[in-house]
Amino acid sequence: MQEEIRDGAAAARRLVAGAGLRDVLDTGDPAAWLALDEGARADEWSFPPYVVPSWEETDGGRSLTAVLRGDGPLTEGQLALALCHRDGRIRHKALGRVAGLPTLLPLVAVRCTDWAQPVRERARKRLAEALDARTAAWLAPLVRRLGDRHRGDFALGLLGEVLRRAPGEGLTPLLASPDRPVRRFAYGLAVEEGFLSPAALARAAARDDDAVVQSLCAEAALAAVTDEDAEDVLGALLGAPGPRARSAGVTALRRLRRPEQAVGFLADRSALVRACARYVVRQYGTDPLPWYRERCAGPGDPALPPGAAVGLAECGTRADAALLWPLLDHPAPGVRARAVAGLRLLDVTDVPRMRRMLDDPAPGVVGEATLALLPSAALLPQAWLAARLAPERPRCVRVSAQRLLHAHGEVARLRAAVTLLGDADERLRTRAELTVRRALRWGARSRSGPEVAELLAEARSRLGRAPRRTGSLCCP
């Protein structure tokens, strides 16, 4: 926030120097307007009195107060500064001069949340006079942000009223806005007013990458679905890339009495969708566990979906681990990774059999094996793990070894961190530096022994040769 205020103050100084408003800030970015509003007041002391004066007249030239009273024109930049002035009387006067200047409507919207009642009331009147469907679509990202402020409900409510009157011209662009809160607001309004058909809502749920929009549109589509558009709605939801939309479509299969379609989602890549599919088939008297066992019984099946392996663990017993162990050698990396995840869910972790997965060529498999072995990290040989920190090892293997050594104990953690000081990999190096600096700050008081002392001495020497990170809480 402080950086935004500094940017706004810099923009205000450029306006003081005579720069044009569009040259100073991106007028389509709501953050730029909010930063200007904050920054202009934060840096007001540096403005010449003839541009942003106090309320009283100043010697040596006309004050802004005199100009606002009608004694001369104001540029857009000067008027923008006046709308951000810390003196409420200046802001109030400036609002009387914004008619016919749509570029300044964002600052008028900001003033609708002003703490001073006269300023707030005049700003609300000006915004209500100027707001139409086109400007509503432009101001929506800013107004949506202002809606989270105290007194921000007026502008947000006014925006909703305008969009309700002209949904095609105003609302349609907002449904494709890159701003997620704006899309949520727009789809919420569309659902509330019934502007979109169930099929259109289902397509929106399938297309949008925001989980809130997916849930909102999917639930609304299913609530309004009829026999005529049931196929279109289900087709869009069941084929959606997002798990929220797919899970809604799978759950709807119970109400539509189509449990056979839910079987195809028992091995879905999403745990949420798999759970919904199991719920649907159980409602019609089918136990999904035999299905999972049958699918996982052929460890060499190239068509085995990865979700079947972890799905077996989600509803199976520890005895089902016998079906998962052979899948660690499956040719598909996804199946191997889900098999490791399934064994972890079943709490069946044979360290000697599992540790070889730390050298798997697939990063996903290495990551799952690391999670499975973390509780048993002490059983892994330190030297074996330390060898996997070597620069020639794949990155996923090195990250895994660092995490496991970190969980191995304080001395092993420090030894690995000193090894990685100055490493070319930023993530490994940063974590190592944090570990070492923490040890230098606190470790010498709690540890003893020649190895620790030697490691700390080496760490001091190596850190002394490297550029020091400023502002770190972990610096000694």
Give SS3 for 268: coil
What is the token pair recorded at 37?
């509003």
The answer to the question of residue 276 being in a domain is no
Return all residues near 222 (Cβ < 8 A) that are at least 6 apart: 198, 233, 237, 248, 249, 252
The answer to the question of residue 282 being in a domain is no
Domain boundary among 130, 161, 193: 130
What is the token pair recorded at 129?
């006079």
Domain boundary among 110, 130, 150: 130
What is the token pair recorded at 317?
């017993």
- pLDDT tens digit string along 131-168? 999 999 999 999 999 998 889 999 999 999 999 998 88
The answer to the question of residue 118 being in a domain is yes
HSE toward the beta carbon, residue 93, CA cutoff 13 A: 22
Q: What's the Cα-to-Cα distance from 391 to each of 35, 395, 423, rounded to whole Å? A: 45, 8, 8
Give the integer Cα–Cα distance in Å for 257 and 233.
Answer: 15
pLDDT given at position 59: 37
pTM: 0.78
The answer to the question of residue 15 being in a domain is yes
The answer to the question of residue 70 being in a domain is yes
Give the integer Cα–Cα distance in Å for 57 and 64.
Answer: 8
Give the integer Cα–Cα distance in Å for 212 and 305.
Answer: 28
Residue count of the chain, please give it. 476
The answer to the question of residue 269 being in a domain is no
pLDDT given at position 1: 54
- pLDDT tens digit string along 178-226? 999 999 999 999 999 999 999 999 999 999 999 999 999 999 999 998 8
What is the rounded average pLDDT of the residues 270-299?
Answer: 95
What is the rounded average pLDDT of the residues 118-141?
Answer: 94
Closest Cα to residue 365, out of 445, 310, 430, 284?
310
The answer to the question of residue 197 being in a domain is no
Residue range of the domain that includes 413: 409-476
Rg (CA), the chain: 31
Domain boundary among 130, 152, 175: 130
- pLDDT tens digit string along 47-93? 444 344 343 433 333 445 554 555 557 788 889 988 998 888 889 99
pLDDT given at position 374: 94
Give the integer Cα–Cα distance in Å for 405 and 416.
Answer: 7
The answer to the question of residue 124 being in a domain is yes
- pLDDT tens digit string along 229-248? 889 999 999 999 999 999 99
How many domains are there within the chain?
Answer: 2
HSE toward the beta carbon, residue 15, CA cutoff 13 A: 30
What is the token pair recorded at 433?
């530096």
Q: Tell me how many degrees the CA angle 85-89-95 measures, rounded to the nearest 5.
A: 75
In the 8-state DSSP scheme, what is residue 442?
I
